[in-house]
Amino acid sequence: MAMMSETQGSSFRLSMLIYDTRYRSITIQIIFLFLMMAGAAWLIDNTLANLAEKGKDIDFSFLWARAGYDINQRLVDYTNDSPHWVAWVVGLLNTLVLAAVACITATVVGVMAGVLRLSNNWIISKLMAAYVEMFRNIPLLLWILVIYAVLTEITPSPNQFRGDNPSASMFMFDSMAITNRGSYLPSILFSRSLGDVNLGLLTVGVNSLVLIAIIIASVFGYRALQHSAAATQESTGDRPVTWWKSLLILFGPLILAMIAMGAHLELPVLKGFNFSGGLFVRNSFIAMWLALTLYTGAFIAEIVRAGILAISKGQSEAAFALGLRPGRTMSLVILPQALRVIMPPLISQYLNITKNTSLALAVGYMDLRATLGGITLNQTGRELECMMLMMLTYLVISLIISGSMNVYNNSIMLRER
């Protein structure tokens, strides 16, 4: 065959596209590309044709119309007079807050459970195994519903705090109340207000901004102190005593500023139907947070365990030989190396948490899915537009998370020389 094609010179036959290995893969790819494009075109055309037939168009102007419904948990200024796009932002922020706190706690729970599952203590390792298997193998939605139902059924209603001999009482010197609607916690108020700044959707007290600025400055100061201490240690071999300076830098300015602004605690008080004052954390949020933490924590535990097992035993033996205690061996030798194995799958788990927040509607937590994809969609009847916007939003959030986590991942990757 090879002889034949050579004798025939450079003549090109159509069948060569399939039978000649030089062209075959390209042919298949082109055909596949055409099929894909035709499929996409058909989907889009079909959608548009069907929408046109029902007399519907694609129109995003509803985003500027009055929303008309109320949202219980809102981090920016929102009333039922606000337009739908603000409701979208409110839902988005609720999603982000939930995802952020759940990522942090799930990581903490996961790392602890993963390390403890490798413990030599039989009871602890088996307990952790039980935790991991239980949470990993039952659907998340069920956990959310179970935790929510438990929170609703076993905690007292605000009504039970009433009267001379109430059947429920508050915790921590009457500063906290746990009810079946949520937990009421004390919040910090300032008697000398420095006014508010209006940042478009958000009204922020200047007091809080000042405090945040002080905290950031303190952290920088602390790092500078540590840096200079490390430099001294490098040059002289003695590490200067820094603990009281650290404490002073970290907390001194903060406490002074709070005293200056007249900070005091505002305690929740039973008034009317509910407690008022203080900070209100809704049960829907707590249920979502707990469920996401425990469920994803189980997956992270397995990732951490795999990461630790991937580090050769020689490393810990070498560390023990140097006289490091087991705790320090783990934190100084094993975990930093395991981190390189752990990080990539951990990013997927963070993405999972973010996407799983969309189950929040089951317990009435007003996330993106409940505002834009739920009430707005329902009241305006713009299914396709809302769904597309929602998908786009989740896509963008996820890409941002994986992008920034990849930057971190690259920074801890093994540098090969």
Partner 1 sequence: MKKTVFVGALTAAATLVAGAASATVLEEVQARGVLNCGVSTGVNGFSAPDSAGEWQGFDVAICRAVAAAVLKDPKKVKFVSTTGQTRFTALASGEIDLLARNSTWTFSRDVDLKFTFAGINYYDGQGFMIKKSMGVSSAKELDGATVCIQTGTTTELNLADYFKTNNMKYEPVPIETNAEAQQQYLAGACDAYTTDASGLAATRATFADPENHIILPEIISKEPLGPLVAQGDDQWADIVRWTLNALVAAEEFGITSANIDELSKGTTNPEINRMLGSSEEDLGGMFGLDKEWSKRAIAAGGNYGEIFAANIGESTPIGLARGLNALWTQGGLQYSPPFR
HEC profile for 20-62?
CHHHHHHHHHHHHHHHHHHHHHHHHHHHHHHHHHCCCCCCCHH
Which range of residues in 123-131, 152-160, 168-176, 395-403 is near partner 1 by CB under 8 A?
152-160
Quickly count: other Cβ atoms within 10 Å of residue 197's Cβ. Answer: 11
Which range of residues in 49-57, 133-141, 216-224, 237-245 is near partner 1 by CB under 8 A?
49-57
- Rounded to an integer, what distance in angstroms lies between the CA atom of residue 417 and that of residue 402? 27
CB of 359 to partner 1, least distance (A): 12
Site string for partner 1, 311-350 (x = CB under 8 A): ----------------------------------------
CB of 200 to partner 1, least distance (A): 23
Which range of residues in 112-120, 206-214, 315-323, 369-377 is near partner 1 by CB under 8 A?
369-377
At 202, give phi and psi (nearest 5°). Answer: -115, 130
Q: Please report whether residue 278 would count as binding partner 1 according to CB under 8 A.
A: no
Which residues from 167-226 bind partner 1, rule CB under 8 A? 180-181
Query: Strand pairing partners for 282?
Result: 182
Q: What angle separates helix 383-412 from helix 84-117, to the nearest 10 degrees?
A: 40
Residues in Cβ contact with 214 at an 8 Å cutoff, skipping those fewer than 6 apart = 253, 254, 257
Q: Which of 264, 364, 408, 413 binds partner 1 (CB under 8 A)?
A: 364
CB of 358 to partner 1, least distance (A): 14
Which range of residues in 42-50, 230-238, 291-299, 325-333 is near partner 1 by CB under 8 A?
42-50
- Rounded to an integer, what distance in angstroms lies between the CA atom of residue 266 and that of residue 272? 17
Secondary structure (3-state) at 90: helix
CB of 257 to partner 1, least distance (A): 33
Pick the closer one to partner 1 by CB: 215 or 361. 361
> Could you write out the DSSP letters of every residue in 251-318?
HHHHHHHHHHTTEEEEPPEEETTEEESSEEEEHHHHHHHHHHHHHHHHHHHHHHHHHHHTS-HHHHHH
Pick the closer one to partner 1 by CB: 40 or 255. 40
Task: Copy the structure tokens of residue 374.
Answer: 């739920």
Q: Which of 17, 23, 68, 168 binds partner 1 (CB under 8 A)?
A: 68
Q: How many residues does the chain have?
A: 417
Secondary structure (3-state) at 202: strand
Q: Which of 4, 21, 53, 323 binds partner 1 (CB under 8 A)?
A: 53
Pick the closer one to partner 1 by CB: 34 or 408. 34
Which range of residues in 167-175, 220-228, 299-307, 360-368 is near partner 1 by CB under 8 A?
360-368
Q: Give Rg (Cα) of the chain.
A: 29
Q: Which of 186, 289, 374, 401 binds partner 1 (CB under 8 A)?
A: 374
- Cα angle value 118/119/123 (rounded, 5°): 115
At 185, give phi and psi (nearest 5°). Answer: -115, 160
Binding footprint of partner 1 on the chain (CB under 8 A): 31, 34-35, 38, 42, 46, 49-50, 53-56, 68-72, 80, 149, 152-153, 157-159, 180-181, 271-274, 276, 283, 361-362, 364, 366, 370, 374-375, 377-381, 383
